[in-house]
Chain A
Amino acid sequence: MSTPDKLHLNRDHALHLLRGMLRIRRFEERCAELYTEEKIRGFLHLYIGEEAIAVGAMQSLTPEDAVCATYREHGHALARGLPMTTLMAEMYGKRAGCSGGRGGSMHLFDAASRFYGGSAIVGGLLPLAVGIALADKLQGRQRVTACFFGEGAAAEGAFHESLNLAALWQLPVLFVCENNLYAMGTALDRSESETHIFRKAESYRVPAESVDGMDVIAVEVAARRAAADIRDGAGPRFLECLTYRFRAHSMFDAQLYRDKAEVEAWKQKGPILRFGQWMQETGMLDAAERDAMEADIAAELDEAVAFAEGGAAEPVEELTRDVYTEPRS
């Protein structure tokens, strides 16, 4: 195991990163199929195209750190180590899901890995991340809280209030902005006067940088550096990761707001395509190994789908459970 603050880019680690991104890609492709089969319902926001950010940034965290994410968080949950089985069961709304089936795609939770959701209110978890970090600081723990959000959150008041509070109190928060250029259908330059989101963070005296979010190594390097500073007690850090969503905002989006050519151009810069090609060119991965990796992931996915299919639905009699903590008997 490498230490969280240093990147050791050997073959094993490169394989680990590629595998991490591929697991997310294949999981979500299957989710999209299952959606059309009406096995998964509600909203389904796919992370396809943005996998390098969750996988890269997560390398900087230890198991004791905390993660807050958005409604486009399947990738973060997988990269954080939630099993594909309970994740898929959650997509199905089954009792065995990672949130007991009550949350669904947008509300993935896992106490064991300090994964605090899964919030479907844009910017809504930034204040929580600040508070989790405050609790760690007050209790003298050297932990990082990583908070992922889209660039749309920068238009919300909670974003500005949270950055100010984190900077003012020098709290151990790693803010990771996933700038995919569209807040649902609204292009960044149609909604922000300052389109470099990291500059907003700098205005709160949070050290911030812009990162190529399509490059898993670039994200990992930046995140490790930021997390190391945070662990040293240097206060919050901010990464703006430039990325692109290859699929629609949700399953109900006809994508009339962007050109197909633009989407295609970004796909050519895809994080898995690029990194996979680089690994092949440098001799880290041959075609047979890639096939074996794909076969492994397909098997894991089949197992996850079978687990979800076989999971029990929660009895309706339990409808009102988990609204309040049950009194201890």
Chain B
Amino acid sequence: MSDAGVEMTYREALREAIREALNRDPRVFLMGEDVGRYGGCYAVTKGLYDEFGPERIRDTPLSESAFTGAGIGAALGGMRPIVEIMTVNFSLLALDQIVNNAATIRHMSGGQFNVPLVIRMATGAGKQLAAQHSHSLEGWYAHVPGLKVVAPATIRDARGMLWTALEDPDPVVIFEHVMLYNRSGPLAADAGAVPITGAAVRREGTDVSLITYGGSLFKALEAADALQQEGIAAEVVDLRSLRPLDDATIMGSVGKTHRAVIVDEGWRTGSLAAEISARIMEQAFWALDAPVGRVCSAEVPIPYPRHLEDAALPQVPDIVAAARATLGR
């Protein structure tokens, strides 16, 4: 990453990416609930309605199934739509369109049709929004062949993944963790597109691999700082892409550190963390010096009170404890 850049928030990086896409390709348009006049539920699209007009920043009724399906249809019809579903919680109302149409049409048509659609949505907990507004269901989408699923965690990825996703001939689902929108950092003025496949090692280490993505990345980095104080060198792997998973980077890290802790805000049962753990067993079992650890959300609908929400989600001390445990400490 270049450090000679401008400071911007994750939200602004997403907005710049959308603006660039709209300017570069007349086929690109964005639609979703309150993306236009209101400026976006999380203010990602603020100002774009005035800049690009109601045709290209298209407000929709509260009809997740219809406007997501319309995005699929528009992609089939030669456009490059970006569908914004306000949050993953509401994406359940569009699940049929995503799983039964977007993910299947290429296959069912014997390769005659493809769906170059990008779906963005917010995910995750941490704002005391209670059980129906705090889901982390990206693992469900990562389960489905035909979809590509990405979770940009850094400013650079927030800025660079959208264009690559729009260039992709197949449907790409982008998950933006709600706790990231206000984070800021430097972004090089010439920062361009980044790949949407492949994990990134965000911090090098030799003793234990902390494997995570999205909103949990910064908790893992913080945990790595704390572990450093204790003389434990943690490596932090940012998955970036949840489907496909970058097995090579995961196994490369585990092969070096011989220990792994997976941090995933999804519920433990049937989680992405479970999938990654299984892959490590299959591909790197003999490199392990300790059982794979997992830090996931507690098996409870996310509660409203701050102290209970905190207790339900992966936290830095949980990660530190899990990392220590792999070292027998």
- Which residues of A come within 8 Å of B, CB atoms? 66, 97-103, 107, 109-111, 116-119, 121, 124-136, 138-139, 157-158, 161-162, 164-165, 168, 321-325
Contact = CB atoms under 8 A, between A and B. Distances in A.
Given A127-B69, A323-B146, A119 B109 contact: no
Interface residues of B, number: 41
Contact of A132 (B55, B76, B169): B76
B29 interface: yes
Given A158-B66, A162-B66, 4 more contacts: A107-B108, A130-B70, A322-B111, A324-B148
B170 A324 contact: yes
A109 B71 CA distance: 19
Interface stretch (B98-106, B200-208, B211-219, B258-266): B98-106
A315 to B, nearest CB: 14
Contacts of B81: 131
B231 interface: no
Interface of B: 29, 55, 60-61, 63, 65-79, 81, 93, 96-97, 100-101, 105-114, 145-146, 148, 169-170
B55 A138 contact: yes
Contacts of A324: 106, 146, 148, 170
Contacts of B72: 127-128, 131
B76 A99 contact: no
B112 A134 contact: no
Given A131-B76, A138-B29, A158 B112 contact: no
A109 B61 contact: no
A128 B112 contact: no
B69 A110 contact: no
A125 B78 CA distance: 17
Contacts of A161: 61, 63, 65-67
Contacts of B96: 121, 124, 158
A258 to B, nearest CB: 29
Contacts of A321: 111
B110 A322 contact: yes
B76 A116 contact: yes
B109 A134 contact: no
Contact of B112 (A111, A131, A135, A162): A111
B41 to A, nearest CB: 19
A136 B78 CA distance: 8
Nearest to B117: A131
A99 B61 contact: no
A32 B323 CA distance: 62
21 contacts: A100-B110, A103-B108, A109-B108, A111-B113, A117-B108, A121-B100, A125-B69, A127-B72, A128-B76, A131-B75, A133-B73, A134-B73, A134-B74, A134-B77, A135-B75, A135-B78, A139-B79, A158-B97, A165-B66, A323-B106, A325-B111
